[in-house]
Amino acid sequence: MTVEAPGAGALCRDHDDVVIDTGDDLKCRPLHTVDYSRCVLQPSRRTDDAGRVTRSPRRWGVALLALAPFALSGCGLSNFGAYPGATKTGRSTFHLWQGFTIGAIVIGGMTLALIVYASLRYRVKRHDADAVPRQTQYHLPMEITYTVVPIIIVFVLFAFTVVVENEVTALPAVAASNTIGVEAEQWGWTFSYPGFTIAGQTTSAPEMVMPEGENVKIVLTSADVVHGFYIKQFNFSRYALPGIINQFTFNAQQTGTFFGQCTQLCGVYHSLMWFRVKVVSAHDYGLWLASQQTRAARIAASAAGETIQEQNGAGVPIRPDYGGGTS
Ligand SMILES: [Cu+2]
């Protein structure tokens, strides 16, 4: 048990009292009641010029430590950990995310400030532990405010979400040359263009090429199980479902190569089910498309030629396979 000198600031109402530290609590007692045979007399607590007890600097350290995770979590303040978006809809999604995050910070900050204020303002005083703060009820303006304000907030968030969702799911008319079929399979991707396809599995990471600044329609499905078509820098993900066609439109706003991957656990090599999206200028896309179509036509002609030669070389007519029967 320790005893502090008389007048130890605001802890005691009567400045002739002393503060007794019992080890578990601080108590104010008249000086003449203290049994000094069991006490140690301390010089005084840390007080300011007015005689009030000041807080230990250690408390500021604890407060800074509590704030540290927010500063050290690694999220950039400008993008709040999201991608800025490489497509029109990706950027709209990003701006929606920014707005939601700023709204959450403002509302969360106000809520936290009110909680902290109420906790400090109406906390139990040591010398007055049984006191009950003034009770307030049936405060109609306040009740209406805290009912109406959250409803308005939800409606505002809902309205912005609907606008962006409608933009993301819109299906404007698109030229056939800008329509790409995407089929997911265990464990790879096939991209179908007019006249040819590009396919690749696991580590070969097939590449989907598309033009910059033009609407590109994606027709997505799956050959076997449920997959996820996700391009992180487009801020876009969609299920690839067997027997279901999902359609959506991209309009890339910058050239470059972007990383894509399957986001649904679809089997043993799911983690290797990558692909790339290469955005090139519209002019380069036209050249690439034409060259791939020419190449595909040459391969098809060559394959057909080989088949004819085989048939001729065998000298025996081969019955065409019409399927569905043996005779
Ligand atoms: Cu998959």
**Cα 26 to averaged position of ligand 1 atoms, centre (Å):** 64
Reply yes or no on whether the pLDDT at 151 is more than 90. yes
Region 268-289 average pLDDT: 93
Please say if the pLDDT value at position 143 is more than 80: yes
What's the CA-to-centroid distance between 244 and ligand 1, angstroms? 15
180-208 tens-digit pLDDT = 999 999 989 999 999 888 888 777 778 99
- Mean pLDDT of the 261-280 span: 92
**How many whole angstroms from 270 Cα to the centroid of ligand 1?**
5
In the reported structure, the alpha carbon of residue 275 is separated from the centroid of ligand 1 by a whole-number distance in angstroms of: 11
Cα 32 to chain centroid distance, Å, stands at 65
CA 288 to chain centre: 35
* More confident of the two residues 299 and 250: 250
Q: How far is the CA of 190 from the centre of ligand 1 (A)?
A: 12
**R_g of the chain computed on alpha carbons:** 36
What whole-number percentage of the chain has pLDDT above 70? 73
Q: Which two tokens stand for residue 221?
A: 């499905």
- C-alpha span between 138 and 310 (Å, rounded): 94
Ligand 1 centroid to Cα of residue 240, in Å, is: 8
How many angstroms is it from 206 CA to the middle of ligand 1?
A: 14
User: Would you state the pLDDT for residue 54?
Assistant: 61
Average pLDDT of the residues in 241-250: 96
State the average pLDDT over residues 314-324: 37
Q: Which two tokens stand for residue 202?
A: 């696991």
pLDDT at 239 over 50: yes
Which of 250, 259, 198, 315 is closest to 87 using CA atoms? 250
Looking at every residue in the chain, the average pLDDT score rounds to 81
Give CATH for domain 176-288: 2.60.40.420
pLDDT at 320: 35
Listed range (210-219, 255-264, 299-308) with the worst mean pLDDT: 299-308
Write down the pLDDT at residue 237.
Answer: 95
Ligand 1: centre distance to CA 242 (Å): 12
Q: What is the mean pLDDT of residues 286-314?
A: 72
- Between CA 119 and CA 110 the distance in angstroms is 14
Highest mean pLDDT out of 9-13, 109-113, 323-327: 109-113
Q: What is the mean pLDDT of residues 124-149?
A: 83
Q: How far is the CA of 317 from the centre of ligand 1 (A)?
A: 44
CB 244 within 8 A of CB 82: no
CA of 170 to the centre of ligand 1 (A): 25
- Read off the pLDDT band of 136 (50, 70, 90): confident
Question: Are the beta carbons of 277 and 207 closer than 8 angstroms?
Answer: yes
Span from the CA of 257 to the centroid of ligand 1 (angstroms): 21
> What is the per-residue pLDDT for 317?
35
Whether 269 has a pLDDT exceeding 70, the answer reads yes
Tell me, in angstroms, the distance from the centre of ligand 1 to residue 325's CA: 36
Residues with CB under 5 A from ligand 1 (ion): 227, 262, 266, 273
Q: Give the distance (Å) from ligand 1 centre to CA of residue 99.
A: 32
Average the pLDDT over 304-325 and give the result.
Answer: 41
Distance, CA 230 to ligand 1 centroid (Å)? 10
Residue 312: what pLDDT?
A: 38
Query: Tens digit of pLDDT for each residue in 29-48?
Result: 776 676 666 655 454 455 66
For the chain, give every domain's residue range. Answer: 2-41, 78-126+138-169, 176-288
Distance 211 CA to ligand 1 centre (A): 25
Q: How far is the CA of 97 from the centre of ligand 1 (A)?
A: 27
Q: Which residues contact residue 261 at a Cβ distance below 8 angstroms, ignoring those fewer than 6 apart?
A: 230, 273, 274, 275
198 or 74, which is more confident: 198
Q: How far is the CA of 89 from the centre of ligand 1 (A)?
A: 24
Give the Å distance between the CA of 260 and the centre of ligand 1.
11
pLDDT at residue 288, as a whole number? 93
Say how many Å lie between the CA of residue 184 and the centre of ligand 1: 7
